[in-house]
């Protein structure tokens, strides 16, 4: 079986459209990690992603009858552009089904290559189901983004290039994982040629479909996946990729949003290029591996898989990168509401830079301060600072890992409500498209009084709202049902310490 894949990879016709991308030495990252780190620059492909390799290889193998029927695919971005470009080069009519939340820049890019587009549903799964229905009606050939041997073989050419470019020591290759097509192709080729090389997958911790499948020894479906790294936001790993991963992948590392943002910054520092979140996954995993294993002097390769990122998202990435590098500590601090207390607090910080300082008068006895402080990057530094402040009598709540604090509270103004409101707090995700926020509020229908509301556009496919509502206990089930009927992901945050300390009502 491996022999079949090796032959497919060696015969893949990807270079009709793809280029052999460089394996760049990441000097700054290497010096910081004390290892030899290389980046496989798939972000430099003409569609800014590796996806055109698999799409073209699959479509180049279609016979004349299949080509005459045309092709169809479902994608929110990279696969769509790969299929569109392949279709243009091969003279095949292509139809791409994209979620309605797809950014206009990606829709225009697909259309510019001559493909037709249909917008359907809020997420990839909706578009995927619709594309299959259209394929059955029209006779078009469905081009799967990852669960197809010819697509996997096309992606496997990435490994063929890496091993040709790095003929000396190579300890591990880190691969971003969504549906699994890339890691399946890379693993089967690399293990055949160099079985000593570790193949390590990297997934977001809120979209780790391969990690969970390997643990369960069967494919599992994730009910709700995180959407920050939208290029890998897949609920279930592909059947064929999973079969290959079970045999050839050494392990899977999961990383959080802050670690991905830090990796985007790392890649920028070394290359002056900006990766998309999914594209930076492998670097985030590589860093975590080095820290866990205390690795030194090893040769490590991370696949930078794509650069299709909306400009609007860069603000969010920059904000979260500091925390992801462990270079910003976020604290809620209670200090006496007396003259000079701010000064005493700041003196304890010594030479540290203050990245953020939020305060509003609320209580005559004590002040609640939300503060961001620079850090050395070592985990022990945060514990040392908290311990020092506590020794001097300051009550501290560590907010560095509190998602509500990072996503909403640090940007909110106005402080506490003037009185106890008996409000229930929810964080809600909804599809980010024109009129979506208005529709969301309209659907609530004025049934419940909104007592708190915070929303920020991050240029992503889904928006995030923090909302307080005055709901009688008997009505909470009806409200939750309303959100479920709308298909929105929600979480109650009423008892989150970030809300309680900085936005809750006056009564205690």
Q: Which CATH number fits the domain that encloses residue 383?
A: 3.30.70.260
Whether residues 378 and 251 fall in one domain: no
Confidence of residue 71 (pLDDT cuts 50, 70, 90): very high
Selecting among 305, 375, 427, 451, the annotated active-site residue is: 305
Whether residues 192 and 284 fall in one domain: yes
The percentage of residues in the chain with a pLDDT greater than 90, rounded to a whole number, is 52
Question: Quick check: 446 and 482 in contact, CB under 8 A?
Answer: no
Find the farthest-apart pair of alpha carbons in the chain and give their distance in angstroms, rounded: 83
Rounded (5°) CA angle 116-130-138: 60
Cα-to-chain-centroid distance, residue 92: 32
Nearest CA to 332 out of 507, 503, 505 is that of 503
Q: Identify whether 51 is a catalytic site residue.
A: yes
- Cα separation, 47 vs 42, in Å, equals 9
* Ramachandran assignment for 460, one of left (phi > 0), alpha (psi -120 to 50 degrees), beta (any other): beta
Whether residues 221 and 119 fall in one domain: no
The DSSP secondary structure of 28-84, one letter per residue, reads HHHHHHTSEEEEEEGGGSTTSBTHHHHHHHHHHT--HHHHHH-EEEE-SSHHHHHHH
Q: Which of 5-19, 109-123, 204-218, 325-339 has the lowest mean pLDDT?
A: 325-339
Whether residues 284 and 305 fall in one domain: yes
Strand partners, 464: 429, 456
In a domain, 386, yes or no: yes
pLDDT in tens, 10-61: 999 999 999 999 999 999 999 999 999 999 999 999 999 999 999 999 999 9
Whether residues 232 and 268 fall in one domain: yes
Q: What are phi and psi of 225, to 5 degrees?
A: -105, 150
Whether residues 472 and 490 fall in one domain: yes
Q: Identify whether 439 is a catalytic site residue.
A: no
pLDDT in tens, 361-399: 566 677 778 888 888 767 778 888 888 888 888 889 998
CATH of the domain at 480: 3.40.1020.10
The DSSP secondary structure of 367-411, one letter per residue, reads EEEEEEEE--S-HHHHHHHHHHHHHTT-EEEE-TT-HHHHHTGGG
Looking at residue 434, its pLDDT comes to: 59
Strand partners, 452: 468
Question: Quick check: 39 and 271 in contact, CB under 8 A?
Answer: yes
Whether residues 199 and 284 fall in one domain: yes
In a domain, 407, yes or no: no
Instruction: Among 342, 367, 401, identify where a domain stops.
Output: 401
Instruction: Among 292, 322, 352, identify where a domain stops.
Output: 322
In a domain, 507, yes or no: no
Q: What H or E segment, with its residue span, contains residue 357?
A: strand 354-359
Average pLDDT over residues 290-302: 97
Instruction: Among 79, 113, 142, identify where a domain stops.
Output: 142
pLDDT in tens, 301-360: 999 999 988 887 888 888 788 777 777 888 888 887 676 676 677 778 777 777 777 766
In a domain, 375, yes or no: yes
Looking at residue 460, its pLDDT comes to: 64
Looking at residue 363, its pLDDT comes to: 67
Q: In the predicted model, what is the mean pLDDT of the chain? A: 87
Nearest CA to 81 out of 134, 145, 31 is that of 145
Number of structural domains found in the chain = 4
Confidence of residue 101 (pLDDT cuts 50, 70, 90): confident
Average pLDDT over residues 434-451: 70
Average pLDDT over residues 480-486: 81
Cα-to-chain-centroid distance, residue 31: 26
In a domain, 426, yes or no: yes
- Cα separation, 461 vs 466, in Å, equals 17
Selecting among 8, 40, 51, 58, the annotated active-site residue is: 51
* DSSP summary character for residue 473: G
Q: Does the pLDDT of residue 297 top 70, yes or no?
A: yes
Whether residues 221 and 300 fall in one domain: yes
Whether residues 177 and 295 fall in one domain: yes
Q: Which of 213-217, 238-242, 429-433 has the lowest mean pLDDT?
A: 429-433
CA distances 326 to 124, 140, 378, Å, are 33, 49, 7
In a domain, 105, yes or no: yes
- Cα separation, 62 vs 79, in Å, equals 18
In a domain, 496, yes or no: yes
Q: Does the pLDDT of residue 417 top 70, yes or no?
A: no
Looking at residue 291, its pLDDT comes to: 94
In a domain, 67, yes or no: yes
CA distances 277 to 63, 308, 395, Å, are 36, 9, 36
Domain that holds residue 430: 415-502
Whether residues 269 and 337 fall in one domain: no
Nearest CA to 263 out of 279, 240, 247, 249 is that of 279
Q: What are phi and psi of 202, to 5 degrees?
A: -130, 130
**How many other β-carbons are positioned within 10 Å of the β-carbon of residue 116?**
15
Whether residues 289 and 338 fall in one domain: no
Whether residues 346 and 444 fall in one domain: no
How do strand 94-98 and strand 116-119 relate by DSSP bridges? parallel
Burial code (b: 16+ CB inside 10 Å, e: under 16) for 454-481 equals beeebbbbbbbbbbbbebeeeeeeebee
CATH of the domain at 207: 3.40.50.1100
- Cα separation, 490 vs 483, in Å, equals 7
């Amino acid at each position: 079986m491996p022999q079949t894949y090796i032959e497919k990879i060696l015969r893949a016709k990807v270079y009709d459209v793809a280029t052999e991308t460089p394996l760049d030495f990441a000097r700054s990252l290497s010096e910081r990690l004390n290892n030899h780190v290389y980046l496989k620059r798939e972000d430099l492909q003409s569609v800014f992603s590796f996806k055109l390799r698999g799409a073209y290889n699959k479509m180049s193998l279609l016979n004349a009858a299949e080509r005459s029927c045309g092709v169809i695919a479902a994608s929110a971005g990279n696969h769509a552009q790969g299929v569109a470009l392949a279709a243009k080069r091969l003279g095949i009519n292509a139809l791409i089904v994209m979620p309605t939340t797809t950014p206009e820049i990606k829709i225009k890019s697909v259309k510019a290559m001559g493909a037709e587009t249909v917008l359907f549903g809020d997420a990839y799964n909706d578009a995927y189901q619709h594309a299959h229905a259209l394929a059955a009606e029209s006779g078009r050939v469905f081009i799967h983004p990852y669960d197809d041997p010819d697509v996997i073989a096309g992606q496997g050419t990435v490994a063929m290039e890496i091993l040709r470019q790095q003929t000396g020591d190579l300890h591990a290759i880190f691969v971003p994982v969504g549906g699994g097509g890339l890691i399946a192709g890379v693993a089967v080729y690399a293990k055949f040629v160099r079985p000593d090389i570790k193949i390590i997958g990297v997934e977001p911790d809120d979209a780790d479909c391969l990690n969970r499948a390997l643990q369960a020894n069967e494919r599992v479906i994730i009910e709700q996946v995180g959407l920050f790294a939208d290029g890998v936001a897949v609920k279930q790993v592909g059947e064929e990729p999973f079969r290959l991963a079970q045999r050839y992948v050494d392990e899977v590392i999961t990383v959080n949003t802050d670690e991905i943002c830090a990796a985007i910054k790392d890649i920028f520092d070394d290359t002056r290029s900006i990766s998309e979140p999914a594209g930076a996954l492998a670097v985030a995993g590589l860093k975590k591996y080095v820290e866990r294993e205390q690795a030194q002097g090893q040769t490590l390769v991370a696949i930078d898989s794509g650069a299709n990122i909306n400009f609007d998202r860069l603000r969010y990435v920059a904000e979260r990168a500091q925390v992801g590098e462990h270079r910003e500590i976020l604290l809620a601090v209670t200090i006496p509401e007396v003259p000079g207390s701010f000064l005493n607090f700041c003196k304890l910080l010594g030479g540290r830079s203050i990245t953020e300082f939020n305060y509003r008068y609320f209580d005559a006895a004590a002040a609640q301060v939300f503060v961001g402080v620079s850090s050395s990057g070592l985990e022990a530094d945060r514990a040392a600072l908290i311990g020092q402040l506590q020794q001097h009598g300051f009550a501290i709540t560590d907010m560095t890992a509190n998602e509500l604090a990072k996503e909403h509270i640090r940007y909110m103004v106005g402080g506490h409500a003037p009185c106890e409101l008996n409000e229930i707090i929810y964080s809600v995700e909804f599809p980010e498209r024109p009129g979506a926020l208005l529709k969301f509020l309209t659907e609530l229908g004025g049934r419940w009084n909104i007592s708190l509301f915070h929303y920020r556009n991050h240029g992503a496919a889904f928006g995030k709202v923090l909302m307080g509502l005055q709901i009688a206990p008997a009505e909470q089930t009806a409200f939750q049902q309303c959100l479920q009927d709308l298909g929105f992901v929600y979480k109650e945050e009423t008892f989150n310490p970030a809300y309680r300390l900085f936005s809750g009502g006056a009564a205690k």
